[in-house]
Structure 1
Amino acid sequence: MSTQRAERATDDGFTFDDLAVVMGTYNEADAIGTVLSDIADVTDGRAEVVCVDGSSDRTPEIAREHGATVIEQEPRGYGVAVREAVLTPDRPVIVTTDCDDTYPMERLPDFLAEVNDGADVVSGDRLYYGADEMPGMNKLGNELFALLASVLMGERVHDTTTGMRAYRREVVRKIEWTENTGLSAELLMRPLMREYDVRERPIEYDERRGETKLDPLSGGAAIAKSIVRVAFEERFR
């Protein structure tokens, strides 16, 4: 990422001083240091970083060593951790990411620029470029989740379960978040169905470090159920 592009992205409106990058962490000692170093490099160390952690390895210690705020929490699932992470910061722009080094932190200036352009939610579309590093079954599942959500909402979306999104803080504070495994889909669907300015933007997706924690069958069924539930709740709200 060039310095010129970073400066152009933050010239007006919100800057990195207004940004919080948040994530749920669970036994990600192999990757968390790289992710936090990338965030610090891209934002010149100005972004706040919040990790909600339920690890039994060195993940929280590594996160603190990199200057992150760590909120320790008993493991209760992805959505519980991420919901806590999203609602914790007081900064006006919040970016969610995963801690497995799959998401491109160099795109943070671009996401911030979209918010400065008026977006309420900016969602990273991993599937646009093919997501070649994603396991085949995961890719198929994500494509089917997006198709299901699109049909139920009546509006095309391409990646409902991406972990990298930017939100204006007032958006996440106004909506009651209810899902756990399906929180990623809910965080996209509810703002979209409430007519916030939601934009999907292509992002690169890399191979994860460490082992996945989500069972593909039970996790996939839970996400599909969440998509149906959220769509009907919003449709008849």
Structure 2
Amino acid sequence: MRIAVLLPCYNEELTIEKVIRDFRRELPEATIYVYDNNSRDKTAEIARNAGAVVRRESRQGKGNVVRSMFRDIDADIYVMADGDDTYPAEFVHDLMKPVIDEEADMTIGDRHSDGSYESENKRPFHNFGNHFVKGLINRLFRSDLRDIMTGYRVFNRRFAKTMPVKSEGFEIETEMTLHALDKRFRILEIPIQYRDRPPGSESKLNTVKDGIRVLKTVFWIFKDYKPLSFFSFIALIFFVLGLLVGVPVVTEFFQTGLIAKMPSAILAVGLMVLATNSLTCGFILDTIVRNHRDQYELRQNEYRE
């Protein structure tokens, strides 16, 4: 069985050697790939000296790195972690076992079950953002996942080779989870311990910038994957606004037989037309999305490991 350990890296010279050494200890038969994403330090050199296969991805962003990894690397089992030593390598066997036993297509290293992420992570807004996005996605897909944005994951070949990666940055983890939920891949969460970066190692995350990008990803995927719900909500807004503007006009007409508030009448009609059009778009796009899911399932049936 071919096992590939995938380590996206950007300026991780302080920790990358230890990460490679830890995964080499746990998985001596695996090939460890370090994708250097335009690092300005000695990450690539240290990784190469530590025995990893080093490749370079010139397009900045973790999503771009993962896209290249999935396209370029052939393996049966894919282990994805970070080069910052926040995910202990000793949990990799727990993550791999359900995938090897064909009980899951993707396993997720759950940082929240034991409370280690909240205690180790020194960025409170990240904790809030994780819980907020988790709540949105669980409500949207009627799931019960505990850790949506973890970077410690294991995939089988089917998942890695059939996932269209569209994200460019750190929202890639959210996209993976959403794709798996929408396409009904088997997901299993495995509790792990999380540890914060060692002193001197700086996080590449920007709380506001990356938080906005994740929310944009959730918004667009809500529109793309659940168009009927999305456009029905918009239609409801237009409908309510149309009622608020139009009811006084209709009431006046029944009382006097005249329409004195012509601008309000035109606005009300326009809002109702927008509501109808939005609902119609939702039904049409929902049919297209359902057809796309059917085609994706057929391609899955044709896929061979």
Partner SS, residue 120 of structure 2: coil
The corresponding residue for 2:74 is 90
The corresponding residue for 2:164 is 176
- What is the one-letter code of the residue matched to 1:216? T
1:185 is displaced (CA, Å) by 0.7
RMSD, aligned CA: 1.4
The corresponding residue for 1:224 is 215
Deviant stretches of 4+, over 6 Å: none
1:46 is displaced (CA, Å) by 1.2
- What is the one-letter code of the residue matched to 1:206? R
Q: 1:70 to 1:231 in 2, by over 3 A?
A: farther
Question: 1: distance between equivalents of 2:173 and 2:39?
Answer: 21
Which runs of no fewer than 5 residues in structure 1 stay unpaired?
1-16
1:175 is displaced (CA, Å) by 2.0
1:213 is displaced (CA, Å) by 1.0
Question: 2: distance between equivalents of 1:230 and 1:67?
Answer: 39
**Out of 48, 67, 70, which is 1:64 matched to?**
48
Describe how 1:1-237 pairs up with structure 2 within 5 A: 17-43=1-27, 45-53=28-36, 54-118=38-102, 119-130=104-115, 131=117, 132-135=119-122, 136-181=124-169, 182-209=171-198, 210-235=201-226, 236=286, 237=289
Residue-pair matches, total: 220
Question: 2: distance between equivalents of 1:36 and 1:94?
Answer: 15
- What is the one-letter code of the residue matched to 1:133? E
Contact kept, 8 Å, 2:33 with 2:54, in 1: the verdict is yes
The corresponding residue for 1:11 is none
Question: 1: distance between equivalents of 2:95 and 2:2?
Answer: 13
Q: Percent identity?
A: 29
Question: TM-score, normalising length from structure 1?
Answer: 0.88
Partner SS, residue 83 of structure 1: helix
> Higher helix share goes to which structure?
2
Partner SS, residue 155 of structure 2: strand
CA offsets, 1:83-114, max 9 Å, x none? 22233221111011011000011111111211
Question: TM-score, normalising length from structure 2?
Answer: 0.69
| Higher RCO (CA 8 Å, separation ≥ 6 residues) | 1
Partner SS, residue 78 of structure 2: strand
Partner SS, residue 22 of structure 1: strand
Contact kept, 8 Å, 1:189 with 1:231, in 2: the verdict is no
